[in-house]
Amino acid sequence: MSQSLELPSYLEKEPAVEDRFRRIYQRPVVLDVAGLGKTFHAANGVVEALRDIHFKVHRREFICVIGPSGCGKSTLIRILAGLDYPTSGAVKLDGHEVSGPGPDRGMVFQNYTLFPWLTVKRNVMFGPRMKGHQYRVSEAEARKWIKMVGLDRFENSYPNQLSGGMKQRVAIARTLANQPRIVLMDEPFGALDAQTRAQMQAYLQQIWLNVDVTILFITHDLDEAIYLADRIVVLDAHPGRIAEIIEVPLPQPRTPEDFISPKFLATRKRLDTLIHPPKMNDEDRLPMVKMTEPGDDVI
Ligand SMILES: Nc1ncnc2c1ncn2[C@@H]1O[C@H](COP(=O)(O)OP(=O)(O)OP(=O)(O)O)[C@@H](O)[C@H]1O
Ligand SMILES: [Mg+2]
């Protein structure tokens, strides 16, 4: 049987998918982004990075944000983290307006941000200690999260003794040890090789399934977004604005087999269309340069 990948078949929602999202939308809203805009006044002119961004993230939801380079993904996540402020609109976390950084939001960046002079355990203990928890309590807390990311054998190692993937697992453990309401991740696996990246996606999915946490995850990688997300917020560039919010029609948790399922491929096709709209004018076509002479035997 040939499987059609045309959009109408994918957009016609099945009752099971509708039901899954109905249940997600019934959960409390953790993050409410309303009419968010951001304009930078830089030396080289005015840049409207974000315009009228609206979306809500529900408790325990996994939201991915994708879009072309420069569409404002990092600007958005920095505003959500309270590291920058919007020019218009507002962000609410659990109903309270965000006006600066706070332990209720955990950040994981692409660049490794562990303290190089502290062991894995001490890195993860850092948050609980800053909250004023006693050493023993913080240590037990850190051990719990280090175990959760599968690194209990490395608790006394230093970051420079770990691979890139392991460092990111420690960064995730350190973030979770602060018990944030939402984890904000800006291309956290962007610097990893393809194999490690796939492994990290599976780890993150497991962590998300085992921990009561909400995740907003930025990525360039469309397959990564479909594999991980309940919903995908697709941004357009110049100015960054929402092109579409896609409900991924695959049940959670995903498996590697899902990568070749018709629904996955149809979602991928939809994202491709949104992110790389086909537009090739005559003047865009490259000139043909002939490098062979008549009679050349080119096989
Ligand atoms: N501090 C700043 N001052 C001036 N312009 C900025 C500043 N930060 C970001 N911009 C501009 O805002 C736009 C969005 O940048 P941003 O880094 O958020 O994009 P991005 O989607 O994260 O890109 P990438 O995928 O390459 O990481 C860009 O045009 C960028 O040049
Ligand atoms: Mg960015």
Query: Could you tell me the strand order of the sheet in which 29-42 lies?
Result: 45-58, 29-42, 88-93, 96-97
What pLDDT, on the 0 to 100 scale, is given for residue 11?
53
Mean pLDDT of the residues in the chain: 89
Ligand 1 pocket mutation pick from 38, 39, 40 by most atoms within 8 angstroms of CB: 40
**Distance of CA 63 from the midpoint of ligand 1 (Å):** 21
Please tell me the pTM assigned to this model. 0.88
Q: Is the C-beta atom of 44 inside 6 A of ligand 1?
A: no
Residues with pLDDT less than 70, the chain? 1-12, 277-284, 294, 297-299
184-to-79, 117, 161, 165, 273 alpha-carbon distances in Å: 11, 25, 26, 18, 26
Tens of pLDDT, residues 229-273: 999 999 999 899 999 999 999 999 998 889 888 899 999 999 998
DSSP line for the chain: -PPP--HHHHHS--HHHHHHHHHHHHSPEEEEEEEEEEEEEETTEEEEEEEEEEEEEETT-EEEEE-STTSSHHHHHHHHHTSS--SEEEEEETTEE--S--TTEEEE-SS----TTS-HHHHHHHHHHHTT--HHHHHHHHHHHHHHTT-GGGTT--GGGS-HHHHHHHHHHHHHHT--SEEEEESTTTTS-HHHHHHHHHHHHHHHHHS--EEEEE-S-HHHHHHH-SEEEEEETTTBEEEEEEE--SPSSP-GGGGGSHHHHHHHHHHHHHHS-----GGGSPPP---S-TT----
Instruction: Indicate whether residue 299 lines ligand 1 (CB < 6 A).
Output: no
Q: Residues 96-139: pLDDT tens digits?
A: 999 999 889 999 988 878 999 999 999 999 999 999 999 999 99
Ligand 1 centre distance from Cα of residue 50 (Å):
10
What's residue 12's pLDDT? Answer: 62
The pLDDT value recorded for residue 6 is: 45
Residue from 38, 64, 73, 78 to probe ligand 1 pocket by mutation (most atoms less than 8 Å from CB): 73
Which fold does the domain 14-104+181-277 belong to in CATH?
Rossmann fold (3.40.50)
pLDDT at 1: 41
Task: Please state the domain extents for the chain.
Answer: 14-104+181-277, 111-179
Q: Of the ligands numbered here, which is closest to the C-alpha atom of 237? A: 1
Q: Write down the pLDDT at residue 2.
A: 42
- C-alpha 207/C-alpha 173 separation (Å) is 10
Check pocket membership of 35 for ligand 1, CB cut-off 6 A.
no
Burial class (CB in 10 A: 0-12, 13-18, 19+), 107: buried
